[in-house]
Amino acid sequence: RRDVLVLTPWLAPIVWEGTFSRDILDAQYVQKNLVTGVVTFAVEKYVPFIEGFMRSADKYFLAGHPVNFYLFTDNPEKVSHLQMAPENHLFVIPVQNHSGWQDISTSRMEIVSTYIHSRFQHEVDYLYSMDINVQLLAHIGVEIIDALVATISSWQFTPHPEDKASEPRPESQAAIPEGEWDFYYTASFYGGSVSEVYKLTRACSEGLMEDRENGIEARWQDESHLNKYLLHHKPTRLLSPEYYWDAEL
C-alpha cells in the first residue's frame, strides 16, 4: 500500500489490511505449535458486554489457532456457558470489586503482571490485552504476532492529536515532554510475547503505584503509562487503527 505509512522510523512494520498474506503467515504459525492468550476485564457495568465480546472473539480472533481467553470479572456467576471453538478455552477469574472504572484501569496492569508471573507464562506463548466493550467485526489473524505489539490510537488521525494524548505534567511517572512522542497507542489492544508483556505491565504498574503514592493520576490512567513505556521500549510491530477504531470519534 502506498496510501499509508507501513514502516516506523525504527523499522518496525505497521500492519494495515492489504499489507500481508494471511495464508502464508498461518502456515508458518501452525508449524510452531504456539498458544496465544487474551486477557480482558468485565467489572460492574461492563459485565453485560461479556457475551458479545466472547462470541465475536471466539469467531474472529486467530480463528483456527488455539487461544486461551482469560476473563477477569467481579461477577463470575453471571458468565453464561458459552460454546467455544474446540481449539479455544475460556477461563473465568474472579477479581475484586472496585468503586469505579478508574480503579480497575489503574489496577489491571498489576493484575496482569501478577498472573503472568504465577500462571500465564506456563500456559501461553503470546498474550494480548483487549477491552471487553467491543465486538470484533472481521478476522484478526497471526499478522499481529510479534515480540512487542502496540495499536496506534485512532486519536492520531484526528485534528491536533497532541492536545488529547500525552500526559503533560512532569511530576507524573507517565509524563512525556511536548514533541517527544512519535505515535500514540491505545491501551485497549496491546500484547506480544509473554516475557515482553510482563516487562511492560510490571513497569506500568510500578509507575501507576508511584503516581498513586504521590497523589497523582495520569491523564489517561494506564494508557498514559503504556505510552511512556513504549516511548522508550519501541514496539517491534504496530497495528493500524483499523484493528481498534474508536467509533465515538
Residues 6 or more apart from 153 whose CB is under 8 A from it?
161, 165, 184, 185, 186, 241, 244, 246
- CA of 135: how far to CAs of 48, 77, 180, in Å? 12, 22, 33
pTM of the entire predicted model = 0.92
List residues forming the annotated binding site for Mn(2+).
131
Number of neighbours of residue 43 by Cβ within 10 angstroms: 21
- pLDDT tens-digit profile of 8-41? 999 999 999 999 998 999 999 999 999 999 999 9
Helix (H) / strand (E) containing 52? helix 50-60
The rounded distance, in Å, linking the Cα atoms of 209 and 107 is: 9
The rounded distance, in Å, linking the Cα atoms of 164 and 19 is: 29
State which amino acid sits at residue 179.
G
Cell of 27: 502456515
List residues forming the annotated binding site for UDP-N-acetyl-alpha-D-galactosamine.
41-43, 46
Residues 6 or more apart from 206 whose CB is under 8 A from it?
173
pLDDT at 227 over 60: yes
Q: Which residues are catalytic?
A: 223
- CA of 229: how far to CAs of 19, 83, 127, 239, in Å? 27, 37, 17, 17
Rg (alpha carbons) of the chain, rounded to whole number:
18
Which of 187, 176, 152 shows the shortest CA–CA distance to 231?
176
Which of 143, 176, 186 shows the shortest CA–CA distance to 28?
143
The rounded distance, in Å, linking the Cα atoms of 212 and 210 is: 5
Q: Given this model, what pLDDT does residue 152 score? A: 95
- pLDDT tens-digit profile of 143-154? 999 999 999 998
pLDDT band at 90 (very low <50, low <70, confident <90, very high): very high
List residues forming the annotated binding site.
41-43, 46, 131, 223, 246
Q: Given this model, what pLDDT does residue 81 score? A: 83
The rounded distance, in Å, linking the Cα atoms of 189 and 153 is: 9
Share of the chain above pLDDT 70, in %: 88
| Ordered domains of the chain (ranges, CATH) | 14-243 (3.90.550.10)
The rounded distance, in Å, linking the Cα atoms of 201 and 178 is: 24
- pLDDT tens-digit profile of 170-203? 687 777 777 777 899 999 999 999 999 999 999 9
pLDDT band at 168 (very low <50, low <70, confident <90, very high): low
Helix (H) / strand (E) containing 225? helix 222-232
Cell 517527544 sits on residue: 180
pLDDT band at 162 (very low <50, low <70, confident <90, very high): low
The count of residues in the chain is 249
